[in-house]
């Protein structure tokens, strides 16, 4: 090192944003990116750039190789604020896979650039939305995300250590947190207990029923009080191919690097959560009507509140506050939400009519902007203002009683109302009239779901039938009978929900969970209760990013599935 310049790499037409030095066998080279979204590669000579790629988003991008040097990744943000995490095919200069899970930003809102890192050839991590998001390199769906008990900036910076068992992440108070798995905890203690006393565990992370070596195993609640994140986490699909992809990854220079052979697939087992120490729980504060049963539960669309409709026909609202512990103000199990009421002391009490509460079918729906909630418990449908809890109007007195409600996705004044007599009423709140009555079911309506992209309404009934209605004409396009398991009668409540892209439909019945291609109404995946999950299904729902399906069973078990293929990932036992 003599301080003299040896090479000068010239060719970028905009300021350089990042560099990534690397080598393959005897070949040394550097990747560089600039703020106009160009990626270039240089050998240590004066011959100029060897490649010229466009980065996704065409703005600020960082590049990293996996620890074994065989896989190339980049992560960056566009001027519009959209983030991109991808793996590259080096030999072709093309994108091999794009990882999903970043939030779509509001147009023109750019807070900065997402930063990322990789660990142990298997895990990618990126900071966004006051959270750390994780991916397995071989799966484009996000594994999970954690908020480190709050205190993270909007776009936290993060870095794994060389072994991949410690993760440093920046905080809003100009500090940083160290997160660790069990191996990381041992390495910290090896330096001496005293300096790390504040991070010591109140209990050891509970063992998971898994086989195979964990990668980012059990990021412990002990350091920064983090959630467990295991190679076999409930968000991890299985089986998993462990090791290098057989495709060539050599940069397009000589000599070409020989291909690596993939390791053998490992038989990853189902993760089972058997005791309460394996997850975090936030119990909502008590309300005056605590003894009433919760019959419907609904998050607000903004993710900051939770609505519960009780068997006493009263709705309660809890909200998470934005503070240092929870800077995003979004729903989290790390912070207990507060029971919220307007200063007037009003409560959202539904009309119950003459129907006994235990015989009524409760239903609830929330407008897209969270301004209004409508609900019914055997009596009239009530429309409440979410800020004041005032009843804006009531309509549709029984009989027949309303059994399911849905707002039109493009017009809060248009409401679909499923009825006890198997009809569906398309109702205009503003002019207080039923536009049309849809007839196609034989029993009461138990589910309604709009798809804005496909311009359809899908209804489900206690007759185990699905009907598809065109929202421009309200004509019935198709009727499909749910395929029942052998020996089961085609009856019982059926629920429907579209994924976030509104092209796949989740269909839930006590006998099954199924995914349908909504454009054709063809079933593409089905899961039937079996083994330790053999009880009837009581409810199921997509996660907010539509990458998981959570299902509850009548014996108290909860199961988590991969939404892509309904592969079972995790069982939370009733004992937990």
**pLDDT at 351 > cutoff 70:** yes
Q: Higher model confidence: residue 241 or residue 411? A: 411
Of 281-285, 318-322, 455-459, which has the strongest mean pLDDT?
455-459
Domain for residue 232, yes or no?
no
pLDDT of residue 221: 32
Angstrom CA distances, 190 to 182, 183, 214, 330, stand at 13, 11, 21, 37
For the chain, state the CA radius of gyration. 27
Hey, how many other C-beta atoms are within 10 angstroms of the C-beta on 50? Answer: 14
Residue whose C-alpha is closest to residue 391's, from 369, 374, 405, 407: 374
Q: How far apart are CA 63 and CA 437, in angstroms?
A: 57
Angstrom CA distances, 174 to 62, 169, 171, 225, 327, stand at 23, 11, 6, 19, 14
DSSP for 81-145, please give it. S-EEEEEEETTTTEEEEEE--PPPPPTT-------EEEETTTEEEEEETTEEEEEETT-SSEEEE
Q: Which two tokens stand for residue 99?
A: 């990882």
Mean pLDDT of the chain: 82
pLDDT of residue 107: 53
Residue pLDDT, tens place only, 264-278: 333 345 788 888 888
Q: How far apart are CA 272 and CA 270, in angstroms?
A: 6
**pLDDT at 385 > cutoff 90:** yes
pLDDT of residue 398: 92
**pLDDT at 312 > cutoff 70:** yes
Residue whose C-alpha is closest to residue 201's, from 277, 90, 309, 292: 277
Angstrom CA distances, 447 to 30, 183, 319, 402, 408, stand at 56, 48, 27, 11, 14
Domain for residue 144, yes or no?
yes
Among 14-28, 51-65, 189-203, 481-495, name the one with the lowest average pLDDT.
189-203
Q: Higher model confidence: residue 572 or residue 207? A: 572
Hey, how many other C-beta atoms are within 10 angstroms of the C-beta on 22? Answer: 16
pLDDT of residue 92: 77
pTM of the model: 0.58
Q: Is the peptide bond before 400 cis (omega within 30 degrees of 0)?
A: yes
CATH code, domain carrying 143: 2.130.10.10
Question: Where in the sequence is the domain holding 33, given as residue range(s)?
Answer: 16-190
Residue pLDDT, tens place only, 105-116: 655 555 678 888
Residue pLDDT, tens place only, 44-63: 887 788 888 888 988 899 99
* 496 confidence band (pLDDT: 50, 70, 90): very high
pLDDT of residue 355: 78
pLDDT of residue 269: 56
pLDDT of residue 210: 29
pLDDT of residue 252: 38
pLDDT of residue 261: 35
**pLDDT at 15 > cutoff 60:** yes
pLDDT of residue 53: 84
Long-range contacts of 23-29 (CB under 8 A, 24+ apart): 23/69, 24/69, 24/250, 24/251, 24/257, 25/255, 25/257, 27/251, 27/253, 27/255, 29/251, 29/253
pLDDT of residue 270: 73
227, 280 Cβ separation under 8 angstroms:
yes
Domain for residue 167, yes or no?
yes
Q: What does the CA dihedral 299, 301, 302, 304 come to, rounded to 10 degrees?
A: -10
pLDDT of residue 309: 94
**pLDDT at 219 > cutoff 80:** no
88, 72 Cβ separation under 8 angstroms:
yes
Query: First CA to last CA across the chain, in angstroms?
Result: 60
Domain for residue 574, yes or no?
no
Residue pLDDT, tens place only, 328-343: 899 999 899 999 999 9
Angstrom CA distances, 70 to 90, 251, 258, 569, stand at 10, 10, 11, 28
Parallel, antiparallel, or unpaired: how do β-strands 411-419 and 72-77 relate?
A: unpaired
**pLDDT at 198 > cutoff 60:** no
Residue whose C-alpha is closest to residue 547's, from 48, 112, 134, 245: 134
Domain for residue 211, yes or no?
no
Nearby residues of 420 by Cβ (< 8 Å), 6 or more positions away: 361, 398, 399, 400, 401, 402, 403, 444
Q: Is the peptide bond before 109 cis (omega within 30 degrees of 0)?
A: no
Structural domain total, the chain: 1
pLDDT of residue 253: 36
pLDDT of residue 52: 83
Parallel, antiparallel, or unpaired: how do β-strands 456-461 and 445-451 relate?
A: antiparallel
Residue pLDDT, tens place only, 222-251: 333 333 333 333 333 322 222 233 333 333
* 196 confidence band (pLDDT: 50, 70, 90): very low
High-pLDDT (> 70) share of the chain, %: 85
Domain for residue 150, yes or no?
yes
Q: How far apart are CA 253 and CA 299, in angstroms?
A: 53
Q: How far apart are CA 199 and CA 177, in angstroms?
A: 10
**pLDDT at 254 > cutoff 50:** no
Domain for residue 42, yes or no?
yes
pLDDT of residue 450: 97
High-pLDDT (> 90) share of the chain, %: 51
Q: What is the mean pLDDT of residues 317-323?
A: 92
Q: What is the mean pLDDT of residues 484-506?
A: 90
330, 296 Cβ separation under 8 angstroms:
no
Residue pLDDT, tens place only, 136-161: 999 999 888 888 888 898 889 999 99
Q: How far apart are CA 362 and CA 447, in angstroms?
A: 12
pLDDT of residue 44: 86
DSSP, collapsed to helix, strand or coil, labels residue 462 as: coil
Among 65-79, 179-193, 526-540, name the one with the lowest average pLDDT.
179-193
Q: What is the mean pLDDT of residues 64-70?
A: 88
Strand partners, 89: 94
Q: What is the mean pLDDT of residues 435-461?
A: 96
77, 86 Cβ separation under 8 angstroms:
no
Domain for residue 203, yes or no?
no
């Amino acid at each position: 090192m003599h301080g003299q310049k040896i090479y000068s790499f010239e060719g970028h037409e905009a300021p350089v944003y990042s560099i990534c030095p690397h080598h393959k066998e005897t070949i040394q080279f550097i990747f560089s990116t600039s703020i106009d979204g160009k990626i270039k590669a240089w050998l240590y000579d004066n011959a100029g750039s060897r490649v010229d790629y466009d980065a996704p988003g065409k703005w600020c991008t960082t590049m990293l190789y996996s620890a074994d040097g065989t896989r190339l990744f980049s992560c960056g943000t566009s001027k519009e604020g959209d983030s991109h995490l991808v793996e590259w095919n080096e030999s072709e200069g093309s994108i091999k896979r794009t990882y999903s899970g970043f939030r779509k930003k509001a147009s023109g809102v750019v807070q900065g650039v997402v930063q990322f890192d990789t660990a142990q050839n298997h895990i990618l991590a990126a900071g966004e939305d006051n959270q750390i998001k994780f991916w397995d390199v071989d799966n484009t769906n996000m594994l999970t995300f954690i908020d480190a008990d709050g205190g993270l900036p909007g776009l936290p910076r993060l870095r794994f250590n060389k072994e991949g068992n410690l993760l440093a992440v920046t905080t809003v108070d100009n500090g940083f947190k160290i997160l660790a798995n069990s191996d990381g905890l041992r390495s910290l203690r090896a330096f001496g207990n005293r300096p790390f006393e504040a991070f010591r565990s109140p209990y050891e992370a509970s063992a998971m029923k898994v086989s195979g070596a964990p990668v980012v195993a059990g990021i412990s609640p002990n350091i920064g009080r983090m959630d467990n994140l295991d190679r076999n986490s409930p968000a991890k699909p299985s089986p998993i191919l462990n090791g290098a992809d057989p495709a060539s990854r050599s940069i397009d220079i000589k000599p070409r690097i020989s291909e690596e052979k993939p390791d053998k697939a490992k038989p990853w087992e189902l993760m089972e959560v058997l005791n309460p120490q394996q997850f975090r729980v936030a119990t909502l504060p008590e309300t005056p009507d605590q003894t009433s049963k919760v019959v419907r539960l609904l998050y607000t669309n903004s993710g900051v509140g939770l609505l519960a409709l009780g068997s006493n026909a009263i709705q309660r609202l809890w909200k998470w506050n934005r503070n240092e512990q929870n800077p995003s103000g979004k729903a989290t199990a790390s912070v207990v939400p507060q029971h919220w009421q307007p200063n007037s002391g009003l409560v959202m009490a539904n009309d119950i009519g003459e129907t006994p509460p235990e015989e009524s079918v409760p239903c609830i729906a929330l407008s897209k902007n969270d301004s209004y909630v409508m609900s019914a418990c055997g009596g009239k449908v009530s429309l409440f203002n979410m800020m004041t809890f005032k009843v804006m109007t009531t309509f549709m007195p029984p009989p027949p009683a309303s059994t399911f409600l849905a707002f039109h996705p493009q017009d809060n004044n248009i409401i679909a109302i499923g009825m006890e007599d198997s009809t569906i009423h398309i109702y205009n709140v503003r002019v207080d009239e039923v536009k049309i009555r849809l007839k196609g079911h034989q029993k009461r309506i138990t589910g309604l779901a709009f798809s804005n992209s496909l311009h359809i309404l899908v209804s489900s009934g206690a007759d185990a039938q699905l009907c598809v209605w065109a929202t421009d004409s309200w004509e019935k396009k198709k009727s499909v009978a749910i395929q029942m398991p052998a020996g089961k009668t085609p009856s019982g409540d059926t629920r429907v929900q579209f994924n976030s892209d509104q092209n796949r439909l989740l269909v839930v019945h006590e006998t099954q969970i199924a995914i349908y291609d909504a454009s054709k109404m063809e079933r593409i995946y089905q899961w039937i209760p079996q083994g330790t999950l053999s009880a009837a299904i009581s409810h199921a729902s997509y996660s907010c990013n539509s990458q998981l399906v959570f299902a509850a069973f009548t014996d108290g078990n909860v199961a988590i599935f991969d939404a892509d293929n309904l592969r079972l990932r995790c069982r939370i036992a009733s004992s937990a």
